[in-house]
Structure 1
Amino acid sequence: MSDWIDIAAVSDIPVRGARVVKSRAGCVAIFRTASNTVHALDNVCPHKAGPLAEGIVHGTAVTCPLHNWVISLETGMVQGPDEGQVTTYPARVVDGRILLDATRLRAGRAA
Structure 2
Amino acid sequence: MSEWISICTIDDIPVLGARRVARAQGLDVAVFRNAENEVFALLDRCPHKGGPLSQGIVFGRSVACPLHNWTIALSSGEATAPDEGCTPYFSVRVEGSEVQLRADELASRALEQTRPHAGPAHCSGKPACAAA
Fold equivalence (TM over 0.5): yes
Instruction: Tell me which residue corresponds to 1:52.
Output: 53
User: What's the counterpart of residue 35 of structure 1?
Assistant: 36
1 or 2 for the larger relative contact order (CA 8 Å, sep ≥6)?
1
C-alpha deviation, 1:107, in angstroms = 2.0
Cα displacement string for residues 23-49 of structure 1 (whole angstroms, at most 9, x for unaligned residues): 023200000010001000000001111
2:107 counterpart SS class: helix
**Higher strand share goes to which structure?**
1
RMSD over aligned Cα atoms: 1.0
Q: Report what 1:77 is aligned to.
A: 78
Normalised by the length of structure 2, the TM-score is 0.81
Structure 1 residue 95 displacement after superposition: 1.1
Could you list the runs of 4 or more consecutive aligned residues of structure 1 that deviate by over 6 angstroms after TM superposition? none
- Which structure has the larger Rg? 2
Q: Which runs of 5+ in 1 are unaligned?
A: none
1:92 and 1:63 mapped to 2: Cα distance? Answer: 22
Match of 1:2 in 2: 2
Task: Give distance in 1, aligned partners of 2:105 and 2:51.
Answer: 23
What TM-score, normalized to structure 1?
0.96
1:79 counterpart SS class = coil
Distance 1:37 1:2 in 2: 22
Q: Report sequence identity in percent.
A: 47
Determine the C-alpha separation between the residues in 2 that align with 1:48 and 1:18.
19
